[in-house]
Amino acid sequence: MLSNIQIVLVQTFHPGNIGAAARAMKTMGLSRLILVAPRRFPDDEATAMAAGATDVLENARVVDTLDEAVGECVSVIGASARLRNMPLPHFCEPDEMAEHVMTQAASAPVALVFGRERFGLTNEEIQCCTHQMTLPAAPDYPILNLAQAVQVCAHELFTVWRKNPENQYSAPAPVQSTRPTQQQLQAFLQHLDHTLEDAGFHNQPHSRTLERLHAFYIRAQPSKKELSLLRGMLSAFSTPRDNGPSNK
Protein backbone atom coordinates (compact mmCIF):
# COMPACT_ATOMS: atom_id res chain seq x y z
CA MET A 1 0.00 0.00 0.00
CA LEU A 2 1.40 3.36 -0.98
CA SER A 3 -0.01 4.89 2.20
CA ASN A 4 2.34 2.75 4.30
CA ILE A 5 5.39 4.32 2.67
CA GLN A 6 7.13 7.12 4.53
CA ILE A 7 9.64 9.39 2.85
CA VAL A 8 12.12 10.64 5.44
CA LEU A 9 14.41 13.59 4.71
CA VAL A 10 17.25 14.12 7.19
CA GLN A 11 18.48 17.65 7.88
CA THR A 12 17.58 19.02 4.48
CA PHE A 13 19.46 22.25 3.87
CA HIS A 14 17.42 23.79 1.03
CA PRO A 15 13.71 24.28 1.72
CA GLY A 16 13.15 24.17 -2.05
CA ASN A 17 14.25 20.54 -2.01
CA ILE A 18 11.63 19.75 0.62
CA GLY A 19 8.93 21.30 -1.57
CA ALA A 20 10.16 19.59 -4.71
CA ALA A 21 10.27 16.27 -2.87
CA ALA A 22 6.69 16.77 -1.69
CA ARG A 23 5.61 17.36 -5.28
CA ALA A 24 7.54 14.32 -6.48
CA MET A 25 5.77 12.24 -3.82
CA LYS A 26 2.28 13.39 -4.68
CA THR A 27 2.70 12.78 -8.41
CA MET A 28 3.50 9.18 -7.53
CA GLY A 29 0.74 8.58 -4.98
CA LEU A 30 2.85 9.02 -1.84
CA SER A 31 1.71 11.26 0.99
CA ARG A 32 3.71 10.61 4.18
CA LEU A 33 6.62 12.96 4.57
CA ILE A 34 8.80 13.08 7.67
CA LEU A 35 11.43 15.75 8.18
CA VAL A 36 14.25 15.10 10.64
CA ALA A 37 15.58 18.43 11.92
CA PRO A 38 15.14 20.38 8.67
CA ARG A 39 17.23 23.54 8.58
CA ARG A 40 14.27 25.76 7.66
CA PHE A 41 10.68 24.59 7.64
CA PRO A 42 8.01 25.73 6.99
CA ASP A 43 9.35 28.07 4.34
CA ASP A 44 7.99 29.99 1.34
CA GLU A 45 10.51 28.31 -0.93
CA ALA A 46 9.23 24.86 0.07
CA THR A 47 5.65 25.96 -0.52
CA ALA A 48 6.50 27.40 -3.93
CA MET A 49 8.35 24.29 -5.10
CA ALA A 50 5.60 22.00 -3.81
CA ALA A 51 3.20 23.51 -6.38
CA GLY A 52 0.00 21.43 -6.07
CA ALA A 53 1.40 19.28 -3.26
CA THR A 54 1.20 21.74 -0.36
CA ASP A 55 -1.05 19.26 1.45
CA VAL A 56 1.92 16.89 1.70
CA LEU A 57 3.90 19.69 3.37
CA GLU A 58 1.05 20.54 5.72
CA ASN A 59 0.78 16.92 6.83
CA ALA A 60 4.52 16.45 7.20
CA ARG A 61 5.81 15.26 10.58
CA VAL A 62 8.83 17.10 11.94
CA VAL A 63 11.01 15.18 14.39
CA ASP A 64 14.43 15.66 15.96
CA THR A 65 16.10 12.32 15.28
CA LEU A 66 15.94 9.58 12.70
CA ASP A 67 14.99 6.86 15.15
CA GLU A 68 11.88 8.83 16.10
CA ALA A 69 10.98 8.90 12.41
CA VAL A 70 11.34 5.18 11.72
CA GLY A 71 10.55 3.48 15.01
CA GLU A 72 7.31 1.90 13.70
CA CYS A 73 8.77 0.75 10.41
CA VAL A 74 9.52 -2.85 9.56
CA SER A 75 11.94 -1.92 6.80
CA VAL A 76 14.13 1.19 6.52
CA ILE A 77 15.98 1.81 3.25
CA GLY A 78 18.81 4.32 3.51
CA ALA A 79 19.57 5.98 0.20
CA SER A 80 23.13 7.04 -0.34
CA ALA A 81 25.21 8.11 -3.31
CA ARG A 82 28.21 6.23 -1.99
CA LEU A 83 28.47 2.73 -0.70
CA ARG A 84 29.24 2.42 2.96
CA ASN A 85 31.65 -0.04 4.41
CA MET A 86 28.81 -1.55 6.39
CA PRO A 87 27.42 -4.91 5.48
CA LEU A 88 23.75 -4.05 5.27
CA PRO A 89 21.81 -5.66 2.43
CA HIS A 90 22.19 -3.41 -0.55
CA PHE A 91 19.89 -2.57 -3.43
CA CYS A 92 21.68 -1.53 -6.60
CA GLU A 93 18.60 -1.89 -8.74
CA PRO A 94 15.74 0.48 -7.98
CA ASP A 95 13.10 -1.95 -9.23
CA GLU A 96 14.31 -4.59 -6.78
CA MET A 97 14.16 -2.02 -3.99
CA ALA A 98 10.64 -1.14 -5.09
CA GLU A 99 9.48 -4.76 -5.14
CA HIS A 100 10.83 -5.26 -1.63
CA VAL A 101 9.29 -2.05 -0.29
CA MET A 102 5.88 -2.69 -1.84
CA THR A 103 5.82 -6.24 -0.49
CA GLN A 104 6.57 -5.07 3.06
CA ALA A 105 4.31 -2.03 2.77
CA ALA A 106 1.29 -4.24 2.11
CA SER A 107 1.10 -4.83 5.85
CA ALA A 108 3.31 -2.39 7.78
CA PRO A 109 5.06 0.97 7.51
CA VAL A 110 8.27 1.19 5.50
CA ALA A 111 10.62 4.15 5.25
CA LEU A 112 12.90 5.44 2.53
CA VAL A 113 15.49 7.70 4.11
CA PHE A 114 17.38 10.41 2.24
CA GLY A 115 20.29 12.29 3.77
CA ARG A 116 21.70 15.81 3.61
CA GLU A 117 22.39 17.32 0.21
CA ARG A 118 26.13 17.46 0.71
CA PHE A 119 26.87 14.81 3.27
CA GLY A 120 24.23 12.14 2.91
CA LEU A 121 23.61 10.04 6.01
CA THR A 122 25.98 9.61 8.93
CA ASN A 123 27.16 6.15 9.93
CA GLU A 124 24.93 6.35 12.99
CA GLU A 125 21.95 7.04 10.76
CA ILE A 126 22.83 4.10 8.51
CA GLN A 127 22.60 2.03 11.70
CA CYS A 128 18.91 2.97 11.91
CA CYS A 129 18.42 1.31 8.53
CA THR A 130 17.78 -2.29 7.51
CA HIS A 131 18.94 -1.84 3.91
CA GLN A 132 21.01 0.52 1.81
CA MET A 133 20.23 1.70 -1.68
CA THR A 134 22.21 3.42 -4.40
CA LEU A 135 20.63 4.74 -7.58
CA PRO A 136 22.59 3.68 -10.66
CA ALA A 137 23.98 6.78 -12.32
CA ALA A 138 26.65 7.91 -14.75
CA PRO A 139 30.11 7.31 -13.28
CA ASP A 140 31.23 10.80 -14.34
CA TYR A 141 28.60 12.47 -12.18
CA PRO A 142 26.45 10.14 -10.11
CA ILE A 143 25.06 12.68 -7.63
CA LEU A 144 21.37 13.31 -8.21
CA ASN A 145 19.70 16.30 -6.61
CA LEU A 146 17.89 15.18 -3.43
CA ALA A 147 14.35 15.80 -4.73
CA GLN A 148 15.25 14.16 -8.05
CA ALA A 149 16.36 11.04 -6.20
CA VAL A 150 13.02 11.07 -4.35
CA GLN A 151 11.23 11.42 -7.71
CA VAL A 152 13.06 8.47 -9.27
CA CYS A 153 12.45 6.23 -6.23
CA ALA A 154 8.80 7.28 -6.06
CA HIS A 155 8.42 6.57 -9.78
CA GLU A 156 9.79 3.06 -9.29
CA LEU A 157 7.45 2.44 -6.35
CA PHE A 158 4.48 3.73 -8.33
CA THR A 159 5.45 1.49 -11.25
CA VAL A 160 5.27 -1.61 -9.04
CA TRP A 161 2.01 -0.39 -7.54
CA ARG A 162 0.22 0.23 -10.81
CA LYS A 163 1.38 -3.03 -12.37
CA ASN A 164 -0.35 -4.90 -9.56
CA PRO A 165 -3.82 -5.58 -10.98
CA GLU A 166 -5.34 -5.43 -7.46
CA ASN A 167 -4.73 -1.69 -7.48
CA GLN A 168 -6.84 -1.23 -10.57
CA TYR A 169 -4.80 1.59 -11.97
CA SER A 170 -6.04 2.59 -15.34
CA ALA A 171 -3.94 4.82 -17.55
CA PRO A 172 -5.80 7.57 -19.36
CA ALA A 173 -6.71 5.87 -22.62
CA PRO A 174 -5.32 7.31 -25.80
CA VAL A 175 -7.81 8.20 -28.51
CA GLN A 176 -8.80 4.98 -30.24
CA SER A 177 -9.59 5.58 -33.84
CA THR A 178 -11.89 3.17 -35.57
CA ARG A 179 -10.28 0.98 -38.20
CA PRO A 180 -11.67 0.50 -41.65
CA THR A 181 -12.62 -2.92 -42.97
CA GLN A 182 -10.41 -4.80 -45.39
CA GLN A 183 -12.94 -4.07 -48.12
CA GLN A 184 -12.71 -0.34 -47.47
CA LEU A 185 -8.93 -0.48 -47.40
CA GLN A 186 -8.73 -2.47 -50.62
CA ALA A 187 -11.17 -0.08 -52.30
CA PHE A 188 -8.83 2.75 -51.38
CA LEU A 189 -5.83 0.93 -52.81
CA GLN A 190 -7.67 0.32 -56.06
CA HIS A 191 -8.65 3.98 -56.13
CA LEU A 192 -4.96 4.81 -55.61
CA ASP A 193 -3.93 2.57 -58.51
CA HIS A 194 -6.49 4.11 -60.87
CA THR A 195 -5.55 7.65 -59.88
CA LEU A 196 -1.89 6.93 -60.51
CA GLU A 197 -2.65 5.32 -63.85
CA ASP A 198 -4.83 8.25 -64.93
CA ALA A 199 -2.07 10.61 -63.93
CA GLY A 200 0.30 8.87 -66.30
CA PHE A 201 2.31 7.10 -63.64
CA HIS A 202 4.13 4.31 -65.40
CA ASN A 203 4.48 1.16 -63.43
CA GLN A 204 7.40 -0.76 -64.91
CA PRO A 205 6.65 -4.41 -65.69
CA HIS A 206 7.98 -6.67 -62.94
CA SER A 207 8.55 -3.67 -60.75
CA ARG A 208 6.95 -3.89 -57.36
CA THR A 209 6.21 -0.21 -57.00
CA LEU A 210 2.48 -0.51 -56.57
CA GLU A 211 2.90 -3.43 -54.18
CA ARG A 212 5.29 -1.36 -52.11
CA LEU A 213 2.98 1.65 -52.05
CA HIS A 214 0.15 -0.62 -51.03
CA ALA A 215 2.26 -2.17 -48.27
CA PHE A 216 3.14 1.32 -47.03
CA TYR A 217 -0.50 2.38 -46.73
CA ILE A 218 -1.49 -0.91 -45.14
CA ARG A 219 1.32 -0.69 -42.58
CA ALA A 220 0.34 2.88 -41.74
CA GLN A 221 -2.96 1.53 -40.46
CA PRO A 222 -5.13 4.48 -41.46
CA SER A 223 -8.26 4.98 -39.40
CA LYS A 224 -11.62 5.27 -41.12
CA LYS A 225 -11.31 9.01 -40.85
CA GLU A 226 -7.83 9.04 -42.32
CA LEU A 227 -8.89 6.79 -45.16
CA SER A 228 -11.60 9.25 -45.94
CA LEU A 229 -9.03 12.09 -45.98
CA LEU A 230 -6.77 10.06 -48.24
CA ARG A 231 -9.62 9.37 -50.65
CA GLY A 232 -10.30 13.08 -50.71
CA MET A 233 -6.67 13.61 -51.59
CA LEU A 234 -6.95 11.13 -54.45
CA SER A 235 -10.06 12.86 -55.70
CA ALA A 236 -8.21 16.17 -55.75
CA PHE A 237 -5.46 14.55 -57.80
CA SER A 238 -8.04 13.07 -60.21
CA THR A 239 -9.95 16.28 -60.85
CA PRO A 240 -8.66 18.35 -63.71
CA ARG A 241 -7.71 21.84 -62.55
CA ASP A 242 -10.07 24.67 -63.44
CA ASN A 243 -7.41 26.84 -65.04
CA GLY A 244 -5.57 24.82 -67.57
CA PRO A 245 -5.83 21.83 -69.85
CA SER A 246 -6.18 18.31 -68.70
CA ASN A 247 -2.88 16.44 -68.57
CA LYS A 248 -4.33 13.33 -70.08
**Should residue 232 be labelled a site residue for a second copy when binding is judged by CB under 8 A?**
no
43, 62, 151, 175, 233 from 26: Cα distances, Å: 19, 18, 10, 26, 48
Cβ proximity to a second copy: between 148 and 228 the closer is: 148
Q: Contacting a second copy (CB under 8 A), which of 123, 138, 182, 204?
A: 138
Q: Which of 188, 190, 75 is nearest to 133 (CA)?
A: 75
Q: Contacting a second copy (CB under 8 A), which of 122, 159, 195, 228?
A: 159
Segment contacting a second copy (CB under 8 A): 17-25, 72-80, 190-198, 206-214?
17-25
**Should residue 229 be labelled a site residue for a second copy when binding is judged by CB under 8 A?**
no
Sign of CA dihedral 186, 191, 194, 199: negative
Segment contacting a second copy (CB under 8 A): 99-107, 165-173, 209-217, 233-241?
165-173
**Should residue 85 be labelled a site residue for a second copy when binding is judged by CB under 8 A?**
yes
Cβ-contact 129, 113 below 8 angstroms: yes
* 62, amino acid identity: V
Q: Give the chain's radius of gyration (CA, Å).
A: 30
Helix (H) or strand (E) holding 76: strand 75-79
**Should residue 168 be labelled a site residue for a second copy when binding is judged by CB under 8 A?**
no
Overall size of the chain counted in residues: 248
Q: Contacting a second copy (CB under 8 A), which of 37, 43, 90, 167?
A: 90
Residue 192 dihedral angles phi and psi, to the nearest 5°: -60, -45
Cβ proximity to a second copy: between 172 and 200 the closer is: 172
Interacting residues toward a second copy by CB under 8 A:
20, 23-24, 26-29, 49, 51-53, 82-83, 85-87, 90, 92, 132, 134-138, 140-145, 147-148, 151-152, 155, 158-159, 162, 169, 171-175, 177, 223, 226
